[in-house]
Amino acid sequence: MDALFRKLGMDRPITRRDFLNGMAVTAASTQIPGNGLMAQTAAGTAPADIGRTTENYPPLRSGLRGNYPTSISEFENLRTGKYKAFPVPAAEITESYDLVVVGGGISGLSAAHFYRKALGEDQRILILDNQDDIGGHAKRNQFDHAGKTYLGFGGTMAIATPYPYSYGAKALLKELGIEVSRYPEFINHELETNYKLGSAMFFDKEHFGADRVVPGLGRTPWKDFFAKAPLSEAAQRDLVRLHGKNPDYMVGMAVEEKKAKLAKMSYQDYLLHVAKMDAGALPVFLGDGERNNKRVDTLPALEAAEHGSIGFNGLGLKLEETYNEGSFFFHFPDGNASVARLLVSRLVPAALPGEPTMNTIVGSTLDYSKLDVEGSSVRIRLSSPVVRVKHEGSPESATLVNIAYRQNGKLHAVRAHNCILACYNRLIPYLVPEIPEKQKEALFYPVKVPMVYTNVLLKRWTPFVKLGVSRFSSPGMFYPHAQLDPGTTVGGYSGVGTPEEPILVHMMANPNKPGLPRKEQNRAGQQELLSASFEKFELDVRQQLDRMLAGTDFNPAKDILAITVNRWPYGYAYTYDSLADPEVPLEERPHILGRHRFGLISIANSDAGAAAFTNQAMDEANRAVEELLVRQGLT
Ligand SMILES: Cc1cc2nc3c(=O)[nH]c(=O)nc-3n(C[C@H](O)[C@H](O)[C@H](O)COP(=O)(O)OP(=O)(O)OC[C@H]3O[C@@H](n4cnc5c(N)ncnc54)[C@H](O)[C@@H]3O)c2cc1C
């Protein structure tokens, strides 16, 4: 084992941090000089060098990020009712605000923005968040190495959604200076054009009997592609059939009858029992996350058909264009962290001065020391988990609400005229136990989707060039998706240099337990993420890259420079589907029942929209603000 660990580089001093019982332990150099982006961005976009270090610049922090242990350490206390009685005496509360927002993700930041737009910039607003960085899921991962900066997305990757952006969400993006239609100008095609890299499937020996990379995924005719795969002849034949023009497997049924049946069966059942696919082909569909951790066994067949999955084109379903993800797309190198940072630049200009736009935000350095400054109309207080929210008096007649939070081990509280909860729906009944029982039940309904986005800084990518691969699909492995940084050039940044230079590899996983109902799979995945050490994630990364890049000169011990694991046990908002959720009228859906305003408290965040996307986070913020305004008679 020791020899294997050494071969993989588990003993190497890379940039990582491990956590023992919730305490961060620095395992290698984390003090990084902070002028990297200047070296790489176009002239004019360079930030002032404020001496960025891991101490003062959270995006540089490596190791275990996302819902990292100390950020969620109060969650268990909340669940066990530790703060049922408001934990700070009223007489000790001296700070007060017009609005307190719990949660500094896209939804919380948008809520503050909308509130100021409605009532003026002199409104005093405090945003409290339990993490040490802004943006919630929209997180920036930054690696400064040898004078250059490499940017990755730690969560929310892009402005993109299967549902149309609302007028309000589009208008907000425009206000922030983001011109979504200009994205094609910033796509870097170098990997495909200069190096002829494309997608490959990696078949692993656990599921397919042999480790094998088959390049040309999506480019080679399916017959030739699957002929190279370690699959039986029957499995190959059926996969080729399903990828081609299919016969009508439900012949004799009317279209509506077909749709009704497909809505009530899983994609797996459709493939095996309706399309009669050989069971040996099933592992190819493992890890095919589709949307919201709906796997081949939990994804309704009708939804698979609407997504354009294989096997349905002979059924004559006449599907409307429900999903049009490609139509509204914009990817910043750090994902929607740039959207969050643009919002912060408008809320707290001192932290990101100069009203940055989409072109300048990528190269801007956020001054975290300016986020929570006395005298600023908006303050953002990080590393401050909120533990209790309670009206002064009865919710119907109260004019003030108190908000308790913990910071640096101490309990504090502030007072506000209004409060918006833009955190996680399932926490709200613990934060506000006075909420009616029926509403609590509705708030407890969703189980967020567990996700992992890991960024690995590699010393070079010649092994990828040798294989002709920039993107792996690896069904059944811990990370079913891995890809070289797409190298988006917005803001003059480019993460792609020559193959001998460093690059980021993004690896993505949705832990789950096939066979269980979807919510149970989500719970199992959450537990898996919460109990795994950084070392376990690191080992997975090293082993998987070593296996996928076998036969090249890839050396995991020497080529891996840094690893940041963004584990999100509380990832995507839960969305409904026709297999797992009862059919009820829209107004009786749990997210609608759960998000009712309660006195001076209204509820934002994407859970409240039962849709896991940035536009939803903005729309729910808009609604939550609107509710507070209407309550004040400001219609
Ligand atoms: C890995 C990943 C990839 C994604 N990719 C995309 C994408 O490409 N495009 C897209 O549109 N959407 C994507 N999403 C969905 C994403 O959830 C939304 O786009 C959006 O960022 C959600 O914003 P939010 O503010 O509603 O929630 P969050 O971002 O979760 O913000 C909630 C905030 O509340 C904080 N909080 C929780 N409890 C407390 C407490 N007690 N006290 C204080 N603060 C608290 C949380 O830590 C967090 O900062 C992705 C999500 C994940 C996890």
pLDDT score of 324:
55
Distance in Å, CA 421 to ligand 1 centroid: 13
Mean per-residue pLDDT, 252-268: 97
Looking from the CA of residue 161, the nearest atom of ligand 1 is: 11
Distance CA 602, CA 599 (A): 8
Looking from the CA of residue 107, the nearest atom of ligand 1 is: 25
Distance in Å, CA 334 to ligand 1 centroid: 15
3-state secondary structure of 222: helix
Mean per-residue pLDDT, 43-62: 69
Residue 5 has pLDDT above 80, yes or no: yes
Looking from the CA of residue 109, the nearest atom of ligand 1 is: 25
Residue 321 has pLDDT above 60, yes or no: no
Name the band, by pLDDT with cuts 50, 70 and 90, for residue 193: very high
Mean per-residue pLDDT, 200-215: 97
| pLDDT > 90 fraction of the chain, expressed in percent and rounded | 83
pLDDT (tens digit per residue) in 560-597: 999 999 999 999 999 999 999 999 999 999 999 999 99
Which H or E element spans position 201? strand 198-203
Name the band, by pLDDT with cuts 50, 70 and 90, for residue 96: very high
For 120-254, where are the alpha helices, taking DSSP H only? 167-175, 190-193, 205-208, 222-227, 233-243
Look at ligand 1, atom 29, and give the residue with the nearest C-alpha: 136
**Number of neighbours of residue 245 by Cβ within 10 angstroms:** 7
pLDDT score of 27:
36
DSSP 298-362: TSBHHHHHHTT-TT-TTS---------GGGS-B--TTTTHHHHHHHHHHH-TTTS-S---TTTST
In terms of pLDDT, which residue wins out, 50 or 228? Answer: 228
Provide the β-strand partners of residue 418.
Answer: 99
pLDDT score of 16:
66
The answer to whether the beta carbons of residues 603 and 594 sit under 8 Å apart is yes
Looking from the CA of residue 405, the nearest atom of ligand 1 is: 42
pLDDT (tens digit per residue) in 98-151: 999 999 999 999 999 999 999 999 999 999 999 999 999 999 999 999 989 999
pLDDT score of 19:
39
pLDDT score of 586:
93
**CB distance 606 to ligand 1 below 6 Å:** yes
In terms of pLDDT, which residue wins out, 39 or 523? Answer: 523
In terms of pLDDT, which residue wins out, 338 or 62? Answer: 338
Name the residue of 423, 432, 602 whose CB sits within 8 Å of the most ligand 1 atoms, as the mutation to test its pocket. 423
pLDDT (tens digit per residue) in 502-541: 999 999 999 989 889 999 999 999 999 999 999 999 999 9
**CB distance 385 to ligand 1 below 6 Å:** yes
Look at ligand 1, atom 37, and give the residue with the nearest C-alpha: 423
Name the band, by pLDDT with cuts 50, 70 and 90, for residue 11: confident
pLDDT (tens digit per residue) in 607-625: 999 999 999 999 999 999 9
Judged by average pLDDT, the poorest of 21-25, 171-175, 358-362 is 21-25
**CB distance 143 to ligand 1 below 6 Å:** no
Among 255, 201, 258, smallest CA distance to 225 is for 201
Name the band, by pLDDT with cuts 50, 70 and 90, for residue 34: very low
**CB distance 612 to ligand 1 below 6 Å:** yes
In terms of pLDDT, which residue wins out, 634 or 567? Answer: 567
Distance in Å, CA 567 to ligand 1 centroid: 12
**CB distance 285 to ligand 1 below 6 Å:** no
